[in-house]
Amino acid sequence: MTDAPVLYWIRRDFRLSDNPALVAAAAMGPVIPVVILDDSIDQMGAAPRWRYEMGLRALARAYHAQGLDLVIRKGAADAVLADLVATTGAKAVHWNRLYDPHARARDSAIKTALRDQGIAAQSHNGHLLFEPWEVQTGQGGFYRVYTPYWRAVMGRDVARPLPVPALRGVDHALDSLSAEDLNLAPQMRRGAGVLARYAQIGAEAAQTRLAQFLGDKVAAYKDKRDFLDQDACSNLSEHLSLGEISPREIWHMGWEAHRHGAAGAEHFVKELVWREFAYHLLYHSPQIATENWRPDWDSFPWATDPDAPQVLAWKQGRTGIQVIDAAMRELYVTGRMHNRARMLVGSYLTKHMMCHWKIGLDWFADCLIDWDPAANAMGWQWVAGSGPDAAPYFRIFNPETQGEKFDKHGRYRARWIAELSNPAPQTALDFFEAAPRSWNLQPKMGYPTRPIVDLAEGRARALAAYSARNS
């Protein structure tokens, strides 16, 4: 250990526990934790930016409790780091790796530049269980289907989570923006106040959620997780997105629950590995975020106008299909959506409405507080049929039969559609509070009397387009 400070560059690792980069930095000297608001933050959607800011506030408080001040700077990451190295005399920079193409290119250039200056620059794995290049098929390639990937990793050793290291800070203040005053998502307006009622922020909340899930819900998770009206899921996705909890913490606690007989624990861990699989694919085939993963889908006649009247009706939760509209309103109010509902709204958009999956990808990227570049891309391509691990048939969910199956008593639909109840529950009314004034929506408008796309007609049109593909 030396007295030269060490920069710890924080990206999507808003926690102190099980943080390899922080541990490595703390072992070298006084730590300066740094957050850089570069173009990667500017490119995030409104709700993810709001959630990022809220998480950043919690993180700043956590570091303050450890006697360290979080340094927040705005600008290009390479320039900010170079300035901090010059002004603080830092001899090393540590960070946890990200895997999207933009981050990989940026980080590689920064690592090279720092090392050329004689600065120790080191990246670590704090975001995944398994590095994408470490999991290979028997032929040395990457996995394209989830089940073989799961079989390849389920028995692997995963290092135990790291404790919070002993931290020393520097003895002088550095110029920094205030986490409390950032206003990263000014366009949220009324929506921010509504989201705040449903989000749970910070690493402590993440640990509480995990403990509650494993204590109360995990046993029935496999059987109940698809039911829309059940609070059967862990709700950890918003925490995983920002790294408020590590996948290793979840992995070990999940398997521990399994060893103690929790029936749904293995299925829960499988869902965690599904996230790993998404990053595996994003790393090896980065075009999944922008192009059809299966090139033979390039000829599919999807509509591409994100501002078309039917698309607006889908975004506003006014398609006339109750389960679709409930899900889209849940998304706008809470910044999250039940996973079964994500499949249904995705199928309806890409199949019945014949709209491109990129429209849905972009809308979710703007509205989700648990937005994740890998999961969002794989999820949309999976449901559209253009992505990996797709079924060997053209999957078209019937939202009405799915609604009856997974919301038998209509409680989910009533929770989110104010027009279906008198008096309407607060959850449903919250949608009209959060919705942009430009939409001019009020409960008294009544619910649509007809769907924007007839289910039978939409299905027939999609099947015909699928049959004519590449013909």
Q: Residues 36-52: pLDDT tens digits? A: 999 999 999 999 999 99
Within 10 A of 112 (CB to CB), how many other CB atoms are there? 11
Q: 49-58, 125-134, 292-301: lowest mean pLDDT where?
A: 292-301
Confidence at 403, pLDDT banded by 50, 70, 90:
very high
Q: What is the pLDDT of residues 246-288, one digit of tens each?
A: 999 999 999 999 999 999 999 999 999 999 999 999 999 999 9
- In the 8-state DSSP scheme, what is residue 303? B
Predicted confidence at residue 382, as pLDDT, reads: 94
Q: Which residues have a Cβ under 8 Å from the Cβ of 210 and sit 6 or more positions away?
A: 234, 236, 245, 249, 250, 253
Mean pLDDT of the residues in the chain: 96
Q: What is the pLDDT of residues 256-266, one digit of tens each?
A: 999 999 999 99
pLDDT of 12 higher than 80: yes
Q: What is the pLDDT of residues 345-377, one digit of tens each?
A: 999 999 999 999 999 999 999 999 999 999 999
**Average pLDDT for 78-96:** 98
Q: Which residues have a Cβ under 8 Å from the Cβ of 361 and sit 6 or more positions away?
A: 376, 377, 380
Distance (Å, whole) CA 44 – CA 185:
10
Alpha-carbon separation of residue 166 from 63, 137, 172, 239, 270 (angstroms):
12, 40, 19, 24, 34
Q: Which residue type, as a one-letter code, is found at position 328?
A: M
Based on its alpha-carbon atoms, the radius of gyration of the chain, rounded to whole angstroms, reads 23
| Alpha-carbon torsion (208, 267, 225, 320), positive or negative | positive
Predicted confidence at residue 189, as pLDDT, reads: 87
Predicted confidence at residue 391, as pLDDT, reads: 65
pLDDT of 389 higher than 80: no
Distance (Å, whole) CA 57 – CA 125:
24
Q: Which residues partner with 94 through β-bridges?
A: 8, 122
Three-class DSSP category at 96: strand
Confidence at 75, pLDDT banded by 50, 70, 90:
very high
pLDDT of 196 higher than 60: yes
Given the structure tokens 């924080």, which residue do they identify?
A: 10
Within 10 A of 224 (CB to CB), how many other CB atoms are there? 15
Given the structure tokens 């919301």, which residue do they identify?
A: 407
pLDDT of 190 higher than 80: yes
Domain architecture of the chain: domains with CATH: 1-126 (3.40.50.620), 128-156+195-283 (1.25.40.80), 295-468 (1.10.579.10)
Three-class DSSP category at 7: strand
**Average pLDDT for 6-28:** 98
* Edge-first strand listing for the sheet containing 71-74: 71-74, 31-37, 6-10, 92-96, 120-124
Predicted confidence at residue 241, as pLDDT, reads: 98
pLDDT of 1 higher than 60: no
Predicted confidence at residue 390, as pLDDT, reads: 61
Predicted confidence at residue 2, as pLDDT, reads: 58
In this structure, what token pair is assigned to residue 395? 């999957």
Q: Which residues have a Cβ under 8 Å from the Cβ of 451 and sit 6 or more positions away?
A: 319, 320, 321
Element spanning 32, H or E: strand 31-37
Predicted confidence at residue 447, as pLDDT, reads: 96
Predicted confidence at residue 395, as pLDDT, reads: 87
**Average pLDDT for 449-467:** 95
The C-alpha angle 368, 439, 449, rounded to 5 degrees, equals: 100
Predicted confidence at residue 392, as pLDDT, reads: 62
Predicted confidence at residue 288, as pLDDT, reads: 96
Query: Above pLDDT 70, what percent of the chain?
Result: 98
Predicted confidence at residue 470, as pLDDT, reads: 63
Phi, psi of 303 (to 5 degrees): -75, 145
Phi, psi of 355 (to 5 degrees): -105, 150
HSE-up (13 A, CA, CB side) for residue 454: 4
Predicted confidence at residue 3, as pLDDT, reads: 86
Q: What is the pLDDT of residues 307-341, one digit of tens each?
A: 999 999 999 999 999 999 999 999 999 999 999 99
